[in-house]
């Protein structure tokens, strides 16, 4: 049975193209203020109970996911603005929830007795957000109706500051950071797999296939 060298090369190119289409980079941590697990390292972020909490942060690269840590919540009012809270707002996004793997002791239901409460990691999709300075403001919108409170965990390391009452006349700084994390891709250009992989393969394989074809034609 005679094999067509062109068909072989075509199959090889298609296989390599499929490999080249796979993502070249996994998401990396571009910025993080990791959640603290020490006693009282959290802030009330419940709508109707406390001023609007906010954290300003900066990162380089391209952000794909923004996360924060807190006690169980039913829903959020989220604001992400460019700059120190003065730029255009991004549209609200669906919030994903995953267990953080640890718990905190906090008076979540106002009975003056601490409860051990599971901590959750909340995340939103940033798409491909360019690096820069941004302000994340959060307000939990459902727990107060159930006579409960939602708490945003403190984070570190950072600049040691966050904001209470963002945009209000009595806005004031807090002497603690709030937990958050940005995942994405770092800056810089990396050659696409299709450019070097296909070129190198063609240089190695094509001459051999042409020699074989030439020998068949001589016969």
What is the percentage of the chain residues whose pLDDT exceeds 90?
63
Residue 111 has pLDDT above 70, yes or no: yes
Tens-place pLDDT, residues 46-88: 999 999 999 999 999 999 999 999 999 999 999 999 998 766 6
pLDDT in tens, 94-109: 999 999 999 999 999 9
Q: How confident is the model at residue 153 (pLDDT cuts 50, 70, 90)?
A: very high
Q: Which of 181, 138, 169, 136 is nearest to 43 (CA)?
A: 138
Instruction: Reply yes or no on whether the pLDDT at 16 is more than 50.
Output: no
60 three-class SS: strand
Q: Give the whole-angstrom CA distance, residue 132 versus residue 146.
A: 38
Is the pLDDT at 206 greater than 80? The verdict is no
Length of the chain as a residue count: 219
52-65 burial string, b = 16+ CB within 10 Å, else e?
bbbbbbebebbbbb
pLDDT of residue 174 exceeding 80:
yes
**Do residues 179 and 53 touch, judged by C-beta distance below 8 A?**
no
Q: Which residues contact 74 (CB under 8 A, 6 or more apart)?
A: 140, 141, 142, 143
**Contact partners, residue 212, CB within 8 Å, separation at least 6:** 5
**What is the SS3 assignment for 94?**
coil
Half-sphere exposure of 128 (CA within 13 A, CB side): 3
């Amino acid at each position: 049975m005679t094999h067509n060298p062109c068909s072989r090369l075509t199959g090889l190119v298609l296989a390599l193209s499929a490999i080249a289409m796979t993502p070249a980079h996994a998401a990396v941590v571009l910025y993080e203020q990791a959640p603290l697990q020490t006693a009282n390292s959290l802030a009330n972020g419940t709508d109707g109970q406390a001023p609007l909490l906010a954290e300003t942060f900066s990162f380089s690269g391209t952000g794909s996911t923004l996360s924060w840590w807190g006690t169980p919540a039913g829903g959020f009012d989220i604001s992400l603005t460019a700059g120190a809270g003065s730029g255009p707002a991004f549209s609200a996004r669906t919030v994903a929830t995953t267990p953080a793997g640890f718990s905190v002791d906090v008076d979540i239901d106002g009975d003056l007795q601490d409860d051990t409460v599971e901590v959750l990691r909340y995340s939103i999709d940033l798409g491909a957000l360019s690096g820069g300075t941004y302000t994340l403001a959060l307000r939990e919108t459902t727990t107060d109706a159930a006579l409960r409170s939602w708490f945003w965990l403190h984070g570190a390391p950072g600049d040691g500051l966050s904001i209470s009452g963002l945009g209000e006349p009595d806005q004031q700084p807090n002497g603690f950071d709030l937990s958050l994390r940005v995942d994405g891709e770092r800056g810089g250009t990396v050659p696409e797999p299709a450019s070097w992989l296909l070129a190198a393969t063609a240089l190695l394989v094509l001459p051999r296939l042409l020699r074989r074809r030439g020998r068949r034609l001589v016969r």
